[in-house]
Amino acid sequence: MADFLSDFAEKFGLMFLGLAAFAVVVGVLLFLADRAPKRGRDVLQLLIFLLPAGILLTVGLIYPAVNTTVLSFFNRNSQEFVGFDNFVWMFTQPSIQITLINTLIWVALVPTLSTIFGLAYAVFIDKSKGEKVLKSLVFMPMAISFVGAGIIWRFMYEYRAEGFSEQIGVLNQIIVWVGGEPQQFLQNSPWNTFFLIIVMVWIQTGFAMVLLSAAIKGVPVEIIEASRLDGANPWQTFWNVTVPGIRSTLVVVVTTISIATLKVFDIVRAMTGGNFDTSVVANEMYTQAFNRGEFGQGSALAVVLFVMVLPIVVYNVRIMRKQKEIR
C-alpha cells in the first residue's frame, strides 16, 4: 500500500509539473502576443496563435506521413531502396490478401449495419416514453474502450467443448438449448471476421443513433403531417420525407464510421490478435512494423490504408467547401 501511495504521489506530481510547464509556455506566448510592438503586430499575433498547433502537426503528422510513404519503398530496416517490392509482396502474399479482403468486408458492413440499426432505433423510439433511458442503453457502448468491448464479447462467444463442461458463453448456451453444437466463433474462418464485425457494429450503432435522432427531430412536423394527409403510409413518409431531411447527417455518420472502421485495430488485437485469418490492414501494419521489425512492409500497409481513406477525405472536403459557399 505504501508503495502504491508513493507511486501515486510521484506520478501525479509529474502530471502537475507537466500541466504547469504547458501553462507557462502558452502563457508566455500569449503575453508576447499581447505586448507585441505596433508594427507587424497582426502578423506576430497570428503566428503565435497558429504556431504551437502548426509545429506539432507538421512534426507529428505531415512529416511522418511523408516519411512513411518514403519508407514504404525501402527494405525492412530502411537501408536499401526496393521500389514497389513491398506493395508487390502485399498483393501476392495469400495471408496479406486475406487481410486486404477482410478490411474491405469491414468497411462495407460496419457503416451500413450501424447506420441501419441506429436509424431504425432512432425512428422507433422517437417521441416514446423513456426515450432518454432507451437512448442511453444503446449509446453506452460508445463510452467503452475497444479492448473492454473485446473482453465483453469474448465472454459472449466463449466456447466449451461439448460434454466436457457447461457453456459459459451466452451464444453457445443458446445454441445448445435449441439442440445445436457449440461453435468456436472466433476461430472458424471465414465466419470469425463477421463475429468481430458485430462488436464494432455494437459500438458504432449508438453513435449513429444519437446523431440521426437529433436530425430526425429537426425535420419539420408540418411536412410529415402534410405527406400523411396526402395519403402516404408511414413507410413512404419515412422514405420520401424523413430520409431526404436528414441526408447531410447520414453522410456525416457513414463517413465517420467508415474512417473509424478502416483504422480499427484494438478489437482485432484484443479478440484474436489477428490470428485465424481475421487480421485487417491496421492490425497487420502494427504486426509487421513492431512485432516483426519489417518497417518497409509495415509502411507500405500504412500507405495502402491512407489510400483507402483518401476518397472519403476528398468527398468530405468537397462537401465542406460547398457548405462554406452557402454560408
> Hey, which residues between 148 and 177 contact another protein (CB under 8 A)?
148, 150-156, 165-170, 173
CB 282 within 8 A of CB 262: yes
Distance CA 138, CA 147 (A): 18
Residues 72-111 that bind another protein (CB under 8 A): none
Question: What mask, x for binding another protein by CB under 8 A, covers residues 23 to 62?
Answer: ---x---x--xx------xx--xx-xxx-xxx-xx-xxxx
The answer to the question of residue 280 lying near another protein (CB under 8 A) is: no
- Choices 3-11, 83-91, 100-108, 189-197; region in contact with another protein by CB under 8 A: 3-11
Number of residues that bind another protein (CB under 8 A): 136
Q: Cell 502537475 sits at which residue?
A: 16
The answer to the question of residue 184 lying near another protein (CB under 8 A) is: no
In angstroms, what is the minimal distance from the CB of 43 to another protein? 8
Distance CA 33, CA 43 (A): 10
- Choices 13-21, 85-93, 97-105, 108-116; region in contact with another protein by CB under 8 A: 13-21
Closest residue by Cα to residue 284 from 71, 10, 89, 35: 89
CB 161 within 8 A of CB 252: no
Closer residue to another protein (CB): 82 or 154: 154
User: What is the DSSP-derived secondary structure letter of residue 62?
Assistant: I
Closest residue by Cα to residue 200 from 254, 153, 167: 153
Residues 216-235 that bind another protein (CB under 8 A): 217-218, 220-222, 224-225, 228, 234
Query: Alpha-carbon Rg of the chain, whole angstroms?
Result: 26
In angstroms, what is the minimal distance from the CB of 207 to another protein? 7
In angstroms, what is the minimal distance from the CB of 222 to another protein? 7
**C-alpha torsion 207→213→218→224, nearest 10:** 140
CB 186 within 8 A of CB 195: yes
In angstroms, what is the minimal distance from the CB of 299 to another protein? 7
Q: At what angle do helices 247-262 and 94-125 cross, to 10 degrees?
A: 150
Residues 232-251 that bind another protein (CB under 8 A): 234, 237, 248-249
The answer to the question of residue 257 lying near another protein (CB under 8 A) is: no
In angstroms, what is the minimal distance from the CB of 88 to another protein? 20
Distances (CA, A) of 118 to 2, 100, 114, 140, 201: 48, 27, 6, 13, 10
User: If phi over 0 gives left and psi between -120 and 50 gives alpha, with beta otherwise, what is residue 163?
Assistant: left
Choosing from 110, 197, 215, 280, the residue that interacts with another protein (CB under 8 A) is: 215
In angstroms, what is the minimal distance from the CB of 106 to another protein? 14
Closer residue to another protein (CB): 53 or 178: 53
Distances (CA, A) of 130 to 45, 137, 140: 50, 11, 16
Closer residue to another protein (CB): 73 or 202: 202
Q: Which three cell numbers mark 322? A: 460547398
Question: What mask, x for binding another protein by CB under 8 A, covers residues 128 to 147?
Answer: xx-xx-x-xxxxxxxxxxxx
Choosing from 106, 117, 185, 195, the residue that interacts with another protein (CB under 8 A) is: 117
